[in-house]
Structure 1
Amino acid sequence: MFKKLSRTFYPPERPVMVWDGKCGFCRYWISVWQKHTSESIEYITFQADADRFPDIPKKYFEGAVRLIEPDGRIYNGPDAAYRSMEYYKGKPVKFFHRWYTRSRFFKVISDYGYHFVTTHRPFLLKLSRLLFGRKP
């Protein structure tokens, strides 16, 4: 699946979501996340800014989105997505992250679902645009 990292020795001042800037599907959904989280999370591509975290090899950013917290903790893949929902403006969506950390079943399903998404990104981008429009 994807390698899970736990901590960096170079924590950011505010949460940072590191994503694949060459992925159209990622770009589409990151724009959705940005609308919901506003300025609470900084969004960077690993291609441009992975060197901000010199203790994390660049290849690890290629496999999954990472959310890096100010205390240095790293959330990976679906865990990063669910954790970022806690920063939603208005009504934070906390239950997904709670389910992911407490339910083995939900975690396994989420990890496999995330793996499916990463291996079918072009198709899922087309489907996302069909269902939600060209501009999310």
Structure 2
Amino acid sequence: MQPDILVFETDEGGNGSEIHLEERSDLQVERSGRGSVHHVAFRVDNEEELRKWIQKIDVAGFPNSGFVDRYYFRSLYFREPNGILFELATDGPGFAIDESVDHLGKNIALPPFLESKREQIEQKLKPLVTK
């Protein structure tokens, strides 16, 4: 018997808008390592919607971060029973909070809580080569 696969779709559908969920109890428990995905992120419209999800995740009993302010967006991180990490993140306020849209991407934008580490962060960055 084929396991049920649930399909969740967002907005108008199409490429990149579907999640296919298959519950499998016959596989090994998830294990992080080379080639694994750190987490899967999903978009929520705004902070109000995020707070509703926080309540749902709490009621479901999933271990979670609670509300996290990342300055450019707000998030919730939680693990499903197999240990896979999921993130729900708001669209805003976005990177235009620091600079005008015309200048986005011209400088390295850091949230205030990382400014004290700017030199360390910039030293580890490798230039992007474009052709």
TM-score range, shorter chain: under 0.3
Structure with the bigger percentage of strand: 2
Q: TM-score, normalised by structure 1?
A: 0.20
Q: TM-score, normalised by structure 2?
A: 0.21
- Structure scoring higher RCO (CA < 8 A, sep ≥ 6) equals 1
